[in-house]
């Protein structure tokens, strides 16, 4: 895997670090390919329940590497989009741990994640309109589904930045922490990783798909996803562990 992206796994959590601090973790082709490979590792490893994506050196991600772009390099992976995953997020949950700035494509990386933990001094923004561009890596599509439309409209049309507290107020950030966002994200990830992996993955899938279902079909569609969980080994193990007052030993089946 490229040195532009580092990974480490511990207790069911895969941490993915964009490692270009000298470029404020701007996304070039190497980052996109590295993140794509890391996401594939997250998906294929049954010992992993959840991932965290963060940036080295105190900055989350400043967006697309414009120098690389001017040299004809596109920071995308075919079928997966910008940063190697924004068009095809993993089936397993992903947390963005945001220190410093998450701007333009950097904010769109956070948008593509399921949860966001931010340091109190973090800044978010999609300033593309200030350069005559549009936020085409997911912000215009996904942000109105995550926060009230009028707030999404303001961010998109003004290009202005907002702080972590404001981002939490409007429903974009889950947790604001005083210290390292990565430490806060690891705490949240540990809580999730302690749960049944099949149930976690299925719960994410239902929530991600529910707005595409009509009222008449939503119960049947949900059943297709969660039905097998209730007859799984993990479901029996969870019930047994509760009855025996012990920690469950998940098998992922």
Q: What is the pLDDT of residues 134-155, one digit of tens each?
A: 999 999 999 999 999 999 999 9
CATH hierarchy code of domain 197-243: 1.10.12
Give the model's pLDDT for residue 69: 83
- The correct CATH number of 5-193 out of 3.40.50.2020, 3.40.50.150, 3.90.226.10, 3.40.50.1240 is 3.90.226.10
CB atoms within 10 A of CB 109: 30
* pTM greater than 0.85 (yes/no): yes
Give the burial string for 169-194 (b: 16+ CB within 10 Å, else e): ebebbbbbbeeebbebbbebbeebbe
Give the model's pLDDT for residue 2: 63
* All CATH 3.90.226.10 domain ranges in the chain, comma separated: 5-193
Active site positions, annotated: 108, 128
Give the burial string for 27-39 (b: 16+ CB within 10 Å, else e): bbbbbbbbbbbbb
What parts of the chain have a pLDDT lower than 70? Answer: 1-2
Torsion of CA 145, 79, 221, 253, to 10 degrees: -120
Give the burial string for 71-92 (b: 16+ CB within 10 Å, else e): eeeebbbeebbbbbbbbebbeb
Q: How far apart are CA 29 and CA 187, in angstroms?
A: 31
What burial class does residue 124 get, using C-beta atoms within 10 Å of its C-beta: 0-12 exposed, 13-18 middle, 19+ buried? Answer: buried
Give the model's pLDDT for residue 70: 84
* All CATH 1.10.12 domain ranges in the chain, comma separated: 197-243
Give the model's pLDDT for residue 178: 96
């Amino acid at each position: 895997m490229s040195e532009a992206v580092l990974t480490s796994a511990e207790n069911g959590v895969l941490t993915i670090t964009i490692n270009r601090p000298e470029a404020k973790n701007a996304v070039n082709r190497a980052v996109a390919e590295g993140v794509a490979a890391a996401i594939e590792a997250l998906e294929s490893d049954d010992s992993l329940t959840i991932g965290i994506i963060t940036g080295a050196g105190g900055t989350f991600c400043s967006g697309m590497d414009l120098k690389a772009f001017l040299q004809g390099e596109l920071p995308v992976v075919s079928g997966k989009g910008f940063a190697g995953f924004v068009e095809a997020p993993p089936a397993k949950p992903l947390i963005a741990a945001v220190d410093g700035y998450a701007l333009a494509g950097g904010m769109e990386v956070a948008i593509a994640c399921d949860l966001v933990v931010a340091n109190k001094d973090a800044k978010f923004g999609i300033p593309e309109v200030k350069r005559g561009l549009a936020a085409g890596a997911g912000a215009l599509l996904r942000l109105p589904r995550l926060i009230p439309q009028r707030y999404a409209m303001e961010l998109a049309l003004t290009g202005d930045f907002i702080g972590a507290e404001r981002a939490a107020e409007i429903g974009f950030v889950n947790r604001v922490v005083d210290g390292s966002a990565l430490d806060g994200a690891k705490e949240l990830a540990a809580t999730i990783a302690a749960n049944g992996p099949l149930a976690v993955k299925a719960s994410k899938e239902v929530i991600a798909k529910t707005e595409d279902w009509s009222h008449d079909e939503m119960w049947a569609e949900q059943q297709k996803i969660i039905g097998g969980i209730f007859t799984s080994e993990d479901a029996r193990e969870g019930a047994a562990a509760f009855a025996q007052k012990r920690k469950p030993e998940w098998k992922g089946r």
